C-alpha cells in the first residue's frame, strides 16, 4: 500500500491570522494520499509533530504513515482509529524520539489487542477462541512490558539502589532501616563514608600515632 502525503492550500489570510487559537490538526484519509486538515499547512505539520513527539518533519510523516497502516479495519485505513491513536499519543506526551517510537508501538499493540477482543467476543468456535485468547494474552503482556519500558526510560536519571540486608563486621557501624543510595555514589573511596557519617578525617591518623 503506497500512501502519499499532501499539503492543503494555505490562504494568505489563514497564514497571517495569529489571533485564532491553535486547533489540533485532523488527518483526512483518501484513496492514495493523506492530508493534514489545517488552514496553515506549516502550522498543521508543527502541531501534529508536537502531538506525536516527532523531532522533525520527516519523522512526523514516517510515524504518521505507520499509524495509518496500524489503523486498518478490513484492509482499509480508518480515520476514527487514526484520530484515536494520535489523541492517545498526544496525551502520553512523548519527550524524545525513543518515546515517540515506543508510544506509537504501544497504541498499535493496543489496537491489535482490541481487535482480538472483538473477535473473541464474536466467535463461538472453541478452537478459534483458544487461538484468539492466546494472541490477546501475548498482546496484553507486550503492552504491559511497553508501559514498564517507558517508565524505566523516563526514570533513567533517577535510578537508586535500596539495601535491605546489611552485614556488619566487628568494629563496624550499622544503620538500622532501609538505605537508599544513588547509583552514581557507588564506588566512592571508603574514607568518604566515614566523613559522611561525621567521623573526623584525622581519627585514623591519631590511632596510627598511638600505636
Say how far apart CA 81 and CA 59 lie, in whole Å.
20
Per-residue pLDDT averaged across 16-30, rounded? 64
pLDDT number for residue 110: 98
CB 18 within 8 A of CB 43: no
pLDDT number for residue 175: 56
In which residue are the cell numbers 568494629 written?
171
Q: What is the 3-state secondary structure (H, E, C) of the chain?
A: CCCEEECCCCCHHHHHCCCCCCCCCEEEECCCEEEEECCCHHHHHHHHHHHHCCCCHHHHHHHHHHHHHHCCECCECCHHHHHHHHHHHHHHCCCCHHHHHHHHHHHHHHHHHHHHHHHHHHCCCHHHHHHHHHHHHHHHHHHHHHHHHHHHHHCHHHCEEEECCCCCCCCCCCCCCCEEEEHHHCCCCHHHHHHHCCCCCCHHHHHHHHC
pLDDT number for residue 198: 54
> pLDDT tens for residues 154-171?
998 665 555 566 565 666
pLDDT number for residue 165: 61
> pLDDT tens for residues 64-117?
999 999 999 988 999 999 999 999 999 999 999 999 999 999 999 999 999 999
User: Please, what is the average pLDDT of the chain?
Assistant: 78
pTM across the whole model = 0.64
pLDDT-based confidence at residue 21 (cuts at 50, 70, 90): very low
Per-residue pLDDT averaged across 35-40, rounded? 90
Residues 140/142/148/149 CA torsion (nearest 10 deg): -160
pLDDT-based confidence at residue 187 (cuts at 50, 70, 90): very low
- Please determine, for residue 148, whether its predicted confidence score (pLDDT) is greater than 50: yes
pLDDT number for residue 203: 47
pLDDT-based confidence at residue 10 (cuts at 50, 70, 90): very low
pLDDT-based confidence at residue 25 (cuts at 50, 70, 90): confident
From the CB of residue 60, how many other CB atoms can be counted at a distance below 10 Å? 22
Per-residue pLDDT averaged across 183-210, rounded? 49
pLDDT number for residue 32: 85
Amino acid at each position: 500500500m503506497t500512501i502519499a502525503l499532501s499539503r492543503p492550500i494555505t490562504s494568505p489570510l489563514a497564514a497571517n491570522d495569529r489571533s485564532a487559537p491553535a486547533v489540533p490538526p485532523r488527518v483526512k484519509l483518501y484513496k492514495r494520499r493523506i492530508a493534514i486538515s489545517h488552514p496553515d499547512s506549516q502550522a498543521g505539520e508543527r502541531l501534529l509533530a508536537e502531538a506525536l513527539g516527532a523531532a522533525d518533519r520527516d519523522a512526523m510523516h514516517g510515524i504518521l504513515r505507520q499509524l495509518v497502516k496500524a489503523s486498518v479495519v478490513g484492509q482499509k485505513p480508518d480515520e476514527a482509529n487514526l484520530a484515536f491513536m494520535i489523541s492517545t499519543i498526544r496525551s502520553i506526551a512523548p519527550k524524545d524520539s525513543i518515546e515517540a517510537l515506543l508510544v506509537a508501538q504501544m497504541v498499535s499493540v493496543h489496537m491489535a489487542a482490541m481487535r482480538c477482543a472483538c473477535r473473541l467476543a464474536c466467535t463461538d468456535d472453541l478452537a478459534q477462541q483458544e487461538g484468539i485468547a492466546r494472541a490477546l494474552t501475548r498482546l496484553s503482556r507486550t503492552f504491559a512490558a511497553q508501559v514498564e519500558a517507558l517508565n524505566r526510560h523516563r526514570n533513567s536519571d533517577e535510578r537508586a539502589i535500596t539495601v535491605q540486608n546489611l552485614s556488619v563486621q566487628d568494629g563496624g557501624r550499622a544503620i538500622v532501616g532501609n538505605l537508599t543510595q544513588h547509583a552514581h555514589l557507588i564506588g566512592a573511596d571508603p574514607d568518604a563514608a566515614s566523613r559522611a557519617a561525621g567521623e573526623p578525617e584525622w581519627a585514623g591518623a591519631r590511632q596510627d600515632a598511638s600505636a
